[in-house]
Amino acid sequence: MKAKVAVVGYGVIGQRLADGVARQEDMELVGVVDVQPTLAIRALKDKGMPYDLYAAAQEFIPVLEEAGIPVSGTMADLLAQVDIVLDATAAGIGKKNKEIYQQYGVKAIFQGGEKNEIADIFFHGYANYNQGVGKDYLKLTSCNTTGLIRSVDCLDKTAGIEKIAITIMRRSADPGDTHRGFVDLAKVEPVPNHQAVDLMTIMPHIDATGLLVHFPMTHGHIINVLAKTKRKMTKEAVLQVFNDHPRIKVVKIADGFNSNTALFRYARNLGNPRGDMYEIAVFAETVAFSGDDLMYAINIPQEAVVIPETIDGIRAALKMHQNREEALAATNQYLRLE
Amino acid sequence: MKAKVAVVGYGVIGQRLADGVARQEDMELVGVVDVQPTLAIRALKDKGMPYDLYAAAQEFIPVLEEAGIPVSGTMADLLAQVDIVLDATAAGIGKKNKEIYQQYGVKAIFQGGEKNEIADIFFHGYANYNQGVGKDYLKLTSCNTTGLIRSVDCLDKTAGIEKIAITIMRRSADPGDTHRGFVDLAKVEPVPNHQAVDLMTIMPHIDATGLLVHFPMTHGHIINVLAKTKRKMTKEAVLQVFNDHPRIKVVKIADGFNSNTALFRYARNLGNPRGDMYEIAVFAETVAFSGDDLMYAINIPQEAVVIPETIDGIRAALKMHQNREEALAATNQYLRLE
Amino acid sequence: MKAKVAVVGYGVIGQRLADGVARQEDMELVGVVDVQPTLAIRALKDKGMPYDLYAAAQEFIPVLEEAGIPVSGTMADLLAQVDIVLDATAAGIGKKNKEIYQQYGVKAIFQGGEKNEIADIFFHGYANYNQGVGKDYLKLTSCNTTGLIRSVDCLDKTAGIEKIAITIMRRSADPGDTHRGFVDLAKVEPVPNHQAVDLMTIMPHIDATGLLVHFPMTHGHIINVLAKTKRKMTKEAVLQVFNDHPRIKVVKIADGFNSNTALFRYARNLGNPRGDMYEIAVFAETVAFSGDDLMYAINIPQEAVVIPETIDGIRAALKMHQNREEALAATNQYLRLE
Amino acid sequence: MKAKVAVVGYGVIGQRLADGVARQEDMELVGVVDVQPTLAIRALKDKGMPYDLYAAAQEFIPVLEEAGIPVSGTMADLLAQVDIVLDATAAGIGKKNKEIYQQYGVKAIFQGGEKNEIADIFFHGYANYNQGVGKDYLKLTSCNTTGLIRSVDCLDKTAGIEKIAITIMRRSADPGDTHRGFVDLAKVEPVPNHQAVDLMTIMPHIDATGLLVHFPMTHGHIINVLAKTKRKMTKEAVLQVFNDHPRIKVVKIADGFNSNTALFRYARNLGNPRGDMYEIAVFAETVAFSGDDLMYAINIPQEAVVIPETIDGIRAALKMHQNREEALAATNQYLRLE
């Protein structure tokens, strides 16, 4: 029997979670929840309601129906039908929703904007799958941390990582955001950034710190990683480890992959839905050494990067796979990540 | 028998022309031409070569093959098989290519970057289809002019346009461009802009002028149009004319369509390939009057807007339809523009 | 005896008002008021406290003094010493402050962010000086409206303006703003914009409408104006009227003044304090005609443009000059606007 | 007798070099050289020709005079009067100019855009003053390297630096540039960046590497530095070393210095000419440790940062001071760097 899944909050992440779950042949996306006829909801309607929409509460039905959006019921109706909820609401709302999920006895996975306390486990498919198995409430790492841990975890499993220092160059808005953003500036945050702290929560054997700077751009974050490995690796070996990872794409600046937007343009031209990429990219020409320490720069496609690890979370929470490798392989297969 | 079409230059416009032609059931895209393993060509390969690639000349084959790109021959080989070429090369190259097209006796449609002299007719599907019928060499209007004429032509046919004054707020780079762009500025060009001049070439009964200003953005141009109509129209009538146009989408700021990027985000979420839109959009709340003069603001999606009118051009040049309405209807039907 | 002036709110506008008043030989800047050790206040201290600082209330003194900022007393202490206050606080606070000003019997001039009701008269030095004479509470027009009216008023006095339609291309943040801004977009507002409405409030004989679009830039707004004049003017006559205006600078794109930032760079290189300009600029090559209607594009330096007209307001409110020309000449002379 | 100095190339850097030299009481700025009536030259005229202008060659005099710019002669006339030239021409032109300088027997200092071969010594006032003493041709480090070396040199002198790894977040245009820039992207360059290589040229005992990424901003670069020191320093000691440096300003994010633009705004508000800063800034809250390695982020004001070190170069080349400390102290005193 397929795992029955609901997505609550149909925004930038919620839409992509819904699409990602819909591609899993061993899961069923029963419905999505939202409160307003946003552009995302209008697009859902305009493409023929591939997913059933439920209103977060009775009071939201009129405004949705007024906009011509078919509503299948309330969130309560949906919760009664599912095994697990992917909560992609704005930060802080997940906490309130959790009480409802508990009431209906459904498990839930929250996104990185919520506080760690909301969940039984702060989760990353590759780094700590086993700790998520059978848990009721998982919290996913945020987009930067998710992508960062992918790259650190595979190196760690190969050569052992003692410490990392990262420089995160952050996009300040998503494409289309008209409620936030920056013009012509680099905004510097105090050290350490939360991503370093989060990484240490999940990978406590690694000492991590880092700087975060915001920039006026929308198409992905860039992280420069400086890592001290226990065993010295060659550049070729590092690239091989990244190449072998189904969720990491090694690209060459010389081939034209010279920016976060080159990757976005490539993904659009590839025909990927929304021009999204699930994979982080490593810029091959940035893999280098500072003394014995390894340096490499990665691109984090902030809109879609957390989808695979969230789906891993479903597999863990619902005990669909006891085994990490099996779980990851299933997610990757259905998302065609090779 | 299907019209046999080649696309020369597989860049931002060329890729979209190829996809647009491939959707026309009465046309056959025989192949595309390029010179280098650009990211666009790499994406073509990575999605399995849906179109055959020909090298612009023998000398370009090695570098393409070195990058693992399958090459089906040279441009000469392709020209021998087709009725018409869509030339989407960089400005100035079309002129050189024309000599080759002439040598092979194939018709050609050039994009807006070329000089008017290159063609027998400066063409817009809606405004002067009949003048293009049977011609050997057509030049399409540029993206802004194409979208602008769509909106002016339908008003002109309804109420007669005497003069227009436009303010073009121009994107300064395409998404992913790393070879040009502006930071934190508005660059002002002398009046009149070429779009006003171009419009008068195609619609000589209209007096047009306008200002063009460049901005640091990538997702579409905005044009504010002030038009003097012969017959006074109501706001409702204007919106009706725009609504009835298959290539114009009327959107409401109140619904969230408050920017060029809201339209891009919507198109991505709709599942449109590359997040493209063929339609220009009219922002409903900007339709207003200055005295008796009509004002309205439109969005021009610069990457895809010229595709439908270019396909109209194929229909005209190859005399697939003597009749304008029939030609437009066919293009619209295959592109699902209603 | 010199007019005694206080500036309340030492932000982007307040700092410039203080400097502008300090340059008026017939006025005395008694002090400025703020609440926090902002960077502007720190800069004031770091350049040796050219102006005395008063805390908005007793409670704000400790945090200021903790930061090493000398405080001369509270706003109440300052109000007891002045004839008039220039209120440059954030929108909405002026309303609360007005009650205090009334209590202390001092006149006040509010900036464009406040509602019109706050004041006895919505004021512009050139357009309606006489209506401000002797009034207790004036509200200045906002930056765009101030600059726009300058240009419209001088044409109106020369040739009569019947109607205008404007396209405002707005900066979305000031240089250095980290609390707001946009990335890579054009945000469109419903028509009409408030600037057109405001202009009609001050110049009720003109029919005005217009579109406002926000852009990711910080160094000035651009307005394209289309104006119907009662008497037809030549391009030369228009440029002459603008050239003769002490607060309008005619610049040539051909000379390199091709953008809002070219003007900012020029003003920096000229040695203007902060790189500010009090003058709006007209781009000479944009003066053109649409039929008989006049078109021209202006640059509005949003940080400093309202300073001269605010100082005019002091002259009006305190009846320093009954005569408009005399008042304007005095302000212009002290600000070296010729 | 005062050292007689010419500035050749009156652009972004040249203007600032001229102003900086003019402030040195033991130097005389004899004149500046340019070829066109640029906005910088127009500003020079509009502020009353504080410096005499010479045309680069006879042929450039007419176009300058036509624009109303007083010309004092040709570059040859100027070279006959000076001891040393500061060449701030566009990259590549310095090489051609060097032949002329040699012909006239004047020394010269070139900016970072020229190749190292042009000079006898690649120079930084703090790091290798002694090697520049008496040399004929010096080349200054570029803006990023100049600022970076300041911070590394003072740490090196205190605790010994073994290696550094840097992440440079680069502005892609200067304020006002309309000939280059980026929109909405992060452009990644291959590792190592030239700044790391340049630093090793000047400080060969340090192992350096790093990543450079371009961003759509204009008001300064940000560099994140990770440095391995021979002796472990405390955070307080690091801040003390930076605080003691006359050309380094330690700022607190908590005070509002949260971005490159906050510094620019502060400098404007401080009344600095053009809103410039000669000092690099260290963001105090970014001083941290990755294991034993020191991390800190600095701001590089690209327009003015190289001025002090260039003036140090004059002192070295002309043997005005044999002693490094004396030379630096003189430059700092006249530029009021404490």
Query: What are the pLDDT digits (tens) for D128-182?
Result: 999 999 999 999 999 999 999 999 999 999 999 999 999 999 999 999 999 999 9
Question: Catalytic residue among C143, C262, C284, C328, which?
Answer: C143
Contacts of C178 in chain D (CB under 8 A): 258-259, 261-262
- How close, in Å, is residue A151 to chain B by CA atoms? 23
Are D152 and D298 within 8 A, CB to CB?
Answer: no
Q: Is B184 in the C-facing interface, judged by CB distances under 8 Å?
A: yes
- Check CB contact under 8 Å for D295 and A209: yes
* Helix, strand or coil, per DSSP, at residue A67: coil
Nearest to C176 among D178, D183, D261 (CB): D261
Tokens of A8: 């609550």
Cβ contacts of residue A270 below 8 Å, gap of 6+?
B43, B46, B47
Chains touching chain D through at least 3 C-beta pairs below 8 angstroms are A, B, C
Chains touching chain C through at least 3 C-beta pairs below 8 angstroms are A, B, D
Q: How many CB atoms lie within 10 A of CB A135?
A: 18
Nearest residue on chain C to A182, alpha-carbon basis: C181
Distances (CA, A) of B101 to A78, B51, B318, D238: 61, 20, 15, 69
Are B3 and B320 within 8 A, CB to CB?
Answer: yes
Q: What is the pLDDT of residue C325?
A: 97
- Neighbour-count burial of D199, counting CB atoms closer than 10 A to its CB (0-12 exposed, 13-18 middle, 19+ buried): buried
- Check CB contact under 8 Å for B216 and D183: yes
Helix extents (H) in B182-291: 194-202, 235-244, 260-270
- Check CB contact under 8 Å for D255 and C47: no
* Helix, strand or coil, per DSSP, at residue A284: helix
Nearest to A297 among D185, D188, D218 (CB): D188
pLDDT in tens, D83-126: 999 999 998 899 999 999 999 999 999 998 889 999 999 999 99
Question: Catalytic residue among B6, B29, B93, B143, which?
Answer: B143
Contacts of B266 in chain A (CB under 8 A): 39, 42-43, 176
pLDDT in tens, C14-46: 999 999 999 999 999 999 999 999 999 999 999
Q: How many CB atoms lie within 10 A of CB C48?
A: 6
Task: Please confirm, yes or no, whether B154 is among the known catalytic residues.
Answer: no
Would you place residue D216 in the very low, low, confident or very high pLDDT band (cuts 50, 70, 90)? very high
Q: Is A181 in the B-facing interface, judged by CB distances under 8 Å?
A: no
Nearest residue on chain A to C218, alpha-carbon basis: A183
Would you place residue D244 in the very low, low, confident or very high pLDDT band (cuts 50, 70, 90)? very high
- Check CB contact under 8 Å for C222 and B186: yes
Q: What is the pLDDT of residue D285?
A: 98
Cβ contacts of residue B270 below 8 Å, gap of 6+?
A43, A46, A47
Mean pLDDT over each residue of chain A, to the nearest integer: 97
**pLDDT (tens place) for every residue of chain B, 338 residues total:** 899 999 999 999 999 999 999 999 999 999 999 999 999 999 999 999 999 999 999 999 999 999 999 999 999 999 999 999 999 999 889 999 999 999 999 999 999 888 999 999 999 999 999 999 999 999 999 999 999 999 999 999 999 999 999 999 999 999 999 999 999 999 999 999 999 999 999 999 999 999 999 999 999 999 999 999 999 999 999 999 999 999 999 999 999 999 999 999 999 999 999 999 999 999 999 999 999 999 999 999 999 999 999 999 999 999 999 999 999 999 999 999 99
- Check CB contact under 8 Å for C261 and D47: no
The string of DSSP letters for D142-208 reads -HHHHHHHHHHHHHHHHH-EEEEEEEEEEESS-TT--S---SS--EE-PSSPHHHHHHHHHSTTSEE
Nearest residue on chain D to C37, alpha-carbon basis: D255
- pTM of structure: 0.97
Q: Which helix (H) or strand (E) holds C123?
A: strand C121-123
Tokens of A323: 């085994």
Are A139 and A109 within 8 A, CB to CB?
Answer: yes
Q: What is the pLDDT of residue D183?
A: 97
Contacts of C178 in chain A (CB under 8 A): 182, 185, 187
Q: What is the pLDDT of residue D113?
A: 86
**Share above pLDDT 70 across residues of chain D, in percent, rounded to a whole number:** 100
This model of the complex carries an ipTM of 0.96
**pLDDT (tens place) for every residue of chain A, 338 residues total:** 899 999 999 999 999 999 999 999 999 999 999 999 999 999 999 999 999 999 999 999 999 999 999 999 999 999 999 999 999 999 889 999 999 999 999 999 999 888 999 999 999 999 999 999 999 999 999 999 999 999 999 999 999 999 999 999 999 999 999 999 999 999 999 999 999 999 999 999 999 999 999 999 999 999 999 999 999 999 999 999 999 999 999 999 999 999 999 999 999 999 999 999 999 999 999 999 999 999 999 999 999 999 999 999 999 999 999 999 999 999 999 999 99
Are A276 and A304 within 8 A, CB to CB?
Answer: yes
pLDDT in tens, A84-119: 999 999 988 999 999 999 999 999 999 988 899 999
Contacts of C184 in chain D (CB under 8 A): 183-184
Position D17, amino acid: L
Contacts of B270 in chain A (CB under 8 A): 43, 46-47
Residues in C 221-280 with any Cβ partner in B closer than 8 A: 222, 224, 226, 228, 253, 258-261
Would you place residue C295 in the very low, low, confident or very high pLDDT band (cuts 50, 70, 90)? very high
Distances (CA, A) of C50 to A137, B243, C11, C32, C69: 59, 61, 16, 10, 12
Is it the case that residue C287 has pLDDT exceeding 90? yes
Task: Give the Cα separation of B239 and B284 in Å (integer).
Answer: 7
Contacts of A176 in chain B (CB under 8 A): 259, 261-262, 264-266
Is it the case that residue D1 has pLDDT exceeding 90? no
Q: What is the pLDDT of residue B113?
A: 86
Task: Give the Cα separation of B152 and B166 in Å (integer).
Answer: 11
- Check CB contact under 8 Å for C261 and B185: yes
Helix extents (H) in B247-306: 260-270
Bridge partners (DSSP) listed for residue A110 = A87, A139
- How close, in Å, is residue A104 to chain D by CA atoms? 44
Are D144 and D300 within 8 A, CB to CB?
Answer: yes
Closest CA to D302 of D94, D84, D12: D12
Q: Is C183 in the A-facing interface, judged by CB distances under 8 Å?
A: yes
The 8-class DSSP code of residue A92 comes to: T
Task: Give the Cα separation of B270 and A46 in Å (integer).
Answer: 7
Bridge partners (DSSP) listed for residue A5 = A29, A84
Task: Give the Cα separation of A267 and A274 in Å (integer).
Answer: 9
Would you place residue D247 in the very low, low, confident or very high pLDDT band (cuts 50, 70, 90)? very high
Mean pLDDT over each residue of chain D, to the nearest integer: 97
Task: Give the Cα separation of C262 and A316 in Å (integer).
Answer: 58
Tokens of D17: 């070099």
Domains identified in chain B and CATH numbers: 3-141+306-334 (3.40.50.720), 143-300 (3.30.360.10)
Would you place residue D71 in the very low, low, confident or very high pLDDT band (cuts 50, 70, 90)? very high
- Check CB contact under 8 Å for B268 and A256: no
Bridge partners (DSSP) listed for residue B84 = B5, B107
Are B293 and B228 within 8 A, CB to CB?
Answer: yes
Are B158 and B203 within 8 A, CB to CB?
Answer: no
Bond prior to B216 in cis (omega within 30° of 0): no
- Check CB contact under 8 Å for D286 and A169: no
Q: Is C10 in the D-facing interface, judged by CB distances under 8 Å?
A: no
Q: Testing the interface with C: which of A172, A182, A214, A260 to mutate, by most C Cβ within 10 A?
A: A182
Question: Catalytic residue among A3, A109, A133, A143, which?
Answer: A143
Distances (CA, A) of A199 to A119, A145, A163, A202, A209: 16, 7, 11, 5, 9
Residue pairs between chains A and D whose CB atoms are closer than 8 Å? 145
Q: Is C189 in the B-facing interface, judged by CB distances under 8 Å?
A: yes
Q: Is D179 in the B-facing interface, judged by CB distances under 8 Å?
A: no
Residues in A 155-174 with any Cβ partner in C closer than 8 A: 171-173
Q: For residue C141, is it left (φ>0), alpha (ψ between -120 and 50) or beta?
A: beta
pLDDT in tens, A276-325: 999 999 999 999 999 999 999 999 999 999 999 999 999 999 999 999 99
Write out the catalytic residue numbers of D.
143
Task: Give the Cα separation of D308 and D137 in Å (integer).
Answer: 17
Residue pairs between chains A and C whose CB atoms are closer than 8 Å? 45
Q: What is the pLDDT of residue D282?
A: 98
Q: What is the pLDDT of residue C189?
A: 97
Cβ contacts of residue A10 below 8 Å, gap of 6+?
A18, A32, A33, A34, A38, A40, A41, A44, A53, A88
Residue pairs between chains C and D whose CB atoms are closer than 8 Å? 90
